[in-house]
Structure 1
Amino acid sequence: MHPPLSLIWFFLTAGTSIGLFSFIYLTDFLSLFGLNTSLPPNMILFSCVISLVLIALGAIGASFHLGHKLRAWKAIKRFHTSWLSREAVFSGAYGFTLLLYGVSYYFNLHPAVQHFFGISTLLLGWLSAFSTAMIYASNRFVLEWNTSLTVLYYLNMYLMLGSSAFLATAYHYKPELIKPYLLLALLFVFLGLALRIAFNVRQFFLKRPTINEALNLPHNRPVKVLDTGTTTNNYCTEEFYYRRGKEMLSFVLPLAYIFTFVIPLMLLLYSLISANYKYAFYALAYASLFVGSALERWSFFVEGNHVQNLFYGLYPEEGYRLRKGYMEKKKTKISLRS
């Protein structure tokens, strides 16, 4: 699949926004139960402003993916059936309640009002993240994405971005709790690495459909692609297959692993083991994670193979091989009834 840069940008900005706000609000919320996790008001307001700016920039960037931008409002009409529509609604609602939460905190309104907006923002933010992940995970035509690992890994990447941004922010406002925040960031990066490895390993065991299966024919009637049906590139051959990206994937994916996991883990582990708590480590860890996440999302799109590519001779080679015994007992039925 061709990687849309606007959606990669939305992932990075929305991921940092929702992840950062989640840690800011939950940490402050826990202080209601007597825990020493209360945050300075300046830190909360600063984080709210950053989160609000990021989600706004993400929405603006994502709009470039739309063919008719003036019709973007129509996305809400398919809320009951479309994950894309749910993402648009929840993302917009998240930004609105985030603004209200920041205003209520700035004017020091009653704590009940502040926490009402805070909890609402938290829920809407993660509903938006889940909806975005389900856009890919529910796509049955791209087998690499059609798995629960897509959702788990996607949500964890929000936590990776948020925890690292929170760690860098807390260094200036809550230095006495840097160690537990550091452990939290390490936990999500380790978990992200495990999920990404599992995502890649799964691809080796995918049972890809064949052209016979796509045409509902038994395996004893082998079908071969003799002509792709087009002499020039079109939308299907360019957007559903990124040839240049396939050639670059073996180079970009290792870089994604290095920037997303190896460098942040080295920096955070060194800071933890040596007890050398410096801002430079956390800022570099987030910057590396940000760049690595962009490369990882690029790789994620390129790794996807839409089954329609079977008819253009662009699907992975194993998709053209007939598996012995598959559909052996299947009988082709022709009926004039609809």
Structure 2
Amino acid sequence: MHPPMSLIFFFLTAGTSIGLFIFMYAIEFLKLFGKGQGLPQEVILKLGVLELILIGLGAFGASFHLGHKLRAWKAIKRFRTSWLSREAVFSGAYGFTLLVYLVLNQVGANPFFEHLFGILTFVLGILSGFSTAMIYASNKFVLEWNSSITVIYYLLMYLMLGSTLMAYFSYLYNLPYLGVFIFLSFLFIALAFGFRLAFNIRQFYLKRPTLNEALNLPHNRPMRVIDTGSTTDNYCTEEFFYRRGKEMLSTVIPLAYLITFLVPLFLVLYAWITGTANHWIFGLTYLFVLFGSALERWSFFVEGNHVQNLFYGLYPEQGYTLRKGFMERKETKISLYG
């Protein structure tokens, strides 16, 4: 699949915003039970404004992926059936409740209403990330994405972005939570690394469809592409297949693993074991995670192979290997009435 830069930008900005808020509000929520000191109002304001800016930039950037931007509001009409619609609704609601929470926090409003909107924002942020992940995981036409692994490591990367940035701010504002966020950064980077690895390993065991299956024909007469029906590139061959990207994957995927997971893990472990704490080590950890996540998202899109590519001779070679006994007994029925 062709990687849309606007959606990669949305992932980075929305992921950082939601991940950062999850940890920021978790500190405030635990304070209700006498666990920890909470955060100074000034810090909450600064982090909250940053989160609002990031989710706003993400929504603006994602709009460039739309063919008719003025019709974006129609996305909410399909809430019951579309994960894309749910993403739009939950992301917009997250931004609104975040703004209300910040106002209530700064004016010293009734704690009940402040935490009511804090919990709502927390839940809406998770639902927004889950909905975004499900857009890909529920797509049965791209087998590489169609897995619960996609959802789990997608959400883990949100937490990875949030925890590494929160570690930086803990040092910057001299908060008593630096050790906690060093540990959480290590935990979520390691978990995201493990699930991303599982995502790639799973691709070796995918049972890819054949042309016979796509055409609903038995396998006793194997079909093959002789003429793709198009002598020039078109929307299907450009948006559903990225030839140059496929050629670069063998280089970009190892680089993404190195920058997104391995280098940040080394930096966090170094800070943890040696007790070293400074702007550079925590700032670089987040920047490596951020830049590496961009490469990871790029790879994720390029790794996707839409089954329509079978008809253009662009599907992975495994797709033409007939699986013995899969459809030999299937009856082929041709009818004008379905």
Match of 2:128 in 1: 128
Does residue 273 of structure 2 align to residue 273 of structure 1?
A: yes
Unmatched 5+ stretches in structure 1: none
Match of 1:26 in 2: 26
Match of 1:329 in 2: 329
The Cα shift of 1:305 comes to 0.1
RMSD of the alignment, in Å? 0.9
Return the letter of the residue paired with 1:284: L
Structure 1 counterpart SS, 2:226: coil
Alpha-carbon separation, structure 2, partners of 1:170 and 1:29:
17
Match of 1:221 in 2: 221
Match of 1:289 in 2: 289
Does residue 55 of structure 2 align to residue 55 of structure 1?
A: yes
The Cα shift of 1:333 comes to 2.2
Match of 2:69 in 1: 69
Unmatched 5+ stretches in structure 2: none
The Cα shift of 1:335 comes to 3.3
Alpha-carbon separation, structure 2, partners of 1:233 and 1:214:
22
Match of 2:99 in 1: 99
Alpha-carbon separation, structure 2, partners of 1:176 and 1:100:
27
Match of 2:203 in 1: 203
Query: Contact 2:259 / 2:292 at 8 angstroms: preserved in 1?
Result: yes
Alpha-carbon separation, structure 2, partners of 1:48 and 1:336:
59
User: More deviation in 324-333 or 12-21?
Assistant: 324-333
Alpha-carbon separation, structure 2, partners of 1:300 and 1:138:
15
Alpha-carbon separation, structure 1, partners of 2:230 and 2:126:
43
Query: Contact 1:39 / 1:173 at 8 angstroms: preserved in 2?
Result: no
Query: Contact 1:163 / 1:185 at 8 angstroms: preserved in 2?
Result: yes
Structure 2 counterpart SS, 1:283: helix
Does residue 151 of structure 2 align to residue 151 of structure 1?
A: yes
Scaled by the length of structure 1, what TM-score is found? 0.98
Alpha-carbon separation, structure 1, partners of 2:80 and 2:99:
26
The Cα shift of 1:320 comes to 1.2
Alpha-carbon separation, structure 1, partners of 2:281 and 2:190:
17
The Cα shift of 1:326 comes to 1.7
Alpha-carbon separation, structure 2, partners of 1:5 and 1:141:
21
Deviations 1:201-242 (A, max 9, x none): 000000000000111111111111000010110000000000
The Cα shift of 1:258 comes to 0.8
Alpha-carbon separation, structure 1, partners of 2:226 and 2:195:
39
Query: Contact 2:142 / 2:305 at 8 angstroms: preserved in 1?
Result: yes
Query: Contact 1:217 / 1:332 at 8 angstroms: preserved in 2?
Result: yes
Q: Percent identity?
A: 66
Structure 1 counterpart SS, 2:268: helix
Query: Contact 1:2 / 1:301 at 8 angstroms: preserved in 2?
Result: yes
The Cα shift of 1:37 comes to 4.1
Alpha-carbon separation, structure 2, partners of 1:127 and 1:160:
17
